């Protein structure tokens, strides 16, 4: 708040700081030694709080819960899921419109229609939308409809990474216990552990009817399991001096839906 940091990126070797240090108004030259400069705490010591939608921020004291189905399948499915996760205490709705699948025979997602349905679910519930982009072109489109772009990183959940990365980076950390375990019964304990370890948020798959899910049904929580998980996370967050983020305000248009 009291000083302005100016960053130099793109240099391969060490830059001679003495000429810069001699300029008027320069208090200090700090050499950032890590290859990951802009995300490192040397660049910015204090936590970065990212506001993804009005009233929805991640990276501070509040723990955000992002929940919803793996894929957007239909209007009824996504709106039902949105209402269920909101009622249980989620802050954001997740759901994929473009699905990175290894088999061409697997469900590939609804594409643009999926994004439109996510926007409808936001209108119905007030939840912020987190959805995945698979490439640069898709990112532009996803940014038009979603509040937060998810970039896939999958099949790993090492909880020691949470405190380690928090020491190195000022950015918020969100844990994905669903893709990290792939098995419904393992998602719940890992979600609890992620919040206990200090994650700023969790991303969890919940489906109104997991047996009929077109993707990742085996790791999707039943709505009542998710509601129980949120109650537990509220206690865990409270025990470490944090709290679950409140759901965003509903717009007046949807207040009585
Ligand atoms: Mn999934």
Alpha helices (H) along 1-160: 18-21, 75-88, 112-125, 136-145
CA–centroid distance, 225 to ligand 1, in Å, is 17
pLDDT of residue 254 exceeding 50, the answer is no
CA–centroid distance, 245 to ligand 1, in Å, is 23
Q: Which residues contact 24 (CB under 8 A, 6 or more apart)?
A: none
CA–centroid distance, 152 to ligand 1, in Å, is 10
Q: What was the pLDDT predicted at 252?
A: 46
Q: What was the pLDDT predicted at 1?
A: 66
pLDDT of residue 212 exceeding 90, the answer is yes
CA–centroid distance, 93 to ligand 1, in Å, is 13
CA–centroid distance, 248 to ligand 1, in Å, is 24
CA–centroid distance, 30 to ligand 1, in Å, is 41
pLDDT of residue 53 exceeding 70, the answer is yes
Q: What are phi and psi of 246, to 5 degrees?
A: -70, 155
- Length reported for the chain: 257
Q: Which residues contact 108 (CB under 8 A, 6 or more apart)?
A: 98, 99, 101
Q: What percent of the chain has pLDDT over 70?
A: 96
Average pLDDT over residues 94-120: 90
Q: From 201, 215, 217, select the one nearest 61 (Cα to Cα).
A: 201
Q: From 66, 204, 214, 207, select the one nearest 130 (Cα to Cα).
A: 66
Average pLDDT over residues 103-123: 92
Parallel, antiparallel, or unpaired for β 62-68 and 56-58?
Answer: unpaired
CA–centroid distance, 56 to ligand 1, in Å, is 23
Q: Is pLDDT larger for residue 207 or for residue 255?
A: 207
pLDDT of residue 229 exceeding 60, the answer is yes
d(CA 9, CA 190): 37
Q: What was the pLDDT predicted at 13?
A: 78
Q: What was the pLDDT predicted at 256?
A: 41
pLDDT of residue 246 exceeding 80, the answer is yes
Q: Got the DSSP string for 193-207?
A: HHHHTT-SEEEEEB-
Write out the residues surrounding ion ligand 1, Cβ under 5 A.
70, 216
Q: What was the pLDDT predicted at 192?
A: 98
CA–centroid distance, 81 to ligand 1, in Å, is 14
Using pLDDT thresholds of 50, 70 and 90, give the confidence band for residue 173: very high
Block residue for tokens 């996803």: 142
Q: What was the pLDDT predicted at 154?
A: 66
């Amino acid at each position: 708040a009291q000083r302005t940091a100016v960053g130099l990126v793109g240099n391969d070797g060490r830059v001679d700081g003495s000429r810069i240090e001699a300029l008027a108004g320069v208090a200090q030259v700090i050499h950032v030694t890590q290859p990951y400069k802009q995300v490192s705490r040397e660049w910015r010591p204090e936590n970065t709080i990212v506001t993804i939608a009005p009233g929805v921020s991640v990276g501070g004291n509040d723990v955000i819960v992002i929940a919803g189905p793996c894929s957007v399948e239909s209007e009824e499915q996504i709106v039902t899921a949105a209402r269920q996760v909101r009622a249980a205490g989620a802050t954001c709705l997740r759901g994929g419109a473009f699905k990175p699948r290894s088999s061409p025979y697997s469900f590939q997602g609804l594409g643009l229609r999926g994004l439109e349905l996510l926007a409808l679910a936001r209108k119905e519930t007030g939840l912020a939308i987190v959805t995945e982009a698979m490439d640069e072109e898709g990112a532009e489109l996803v940014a038009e409809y979603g509040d937060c772009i998810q970039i896939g990183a999958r099949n790993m959940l090492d909880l020691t990474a949470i405190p380690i990365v928090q020491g190195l980076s000022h950015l918020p950390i969100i844990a994905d216990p669903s893709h990290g375990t792939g098995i419904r019964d393992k998602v719940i304990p890992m979600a609890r552990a992620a919040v206990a370890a200090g994650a700023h948020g969790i991303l969890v798959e919940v489906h109104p009817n997991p047996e009929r899910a077109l993707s990742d049904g085996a790791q999707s929580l039943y709505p009542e399991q998710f509601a129980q998980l949120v109650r537990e996370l509220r206690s865990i967050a409270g025990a470490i001096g944090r709290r679950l983020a409140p759901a965003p305000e509903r717009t007046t248009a949807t207040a009585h839906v």
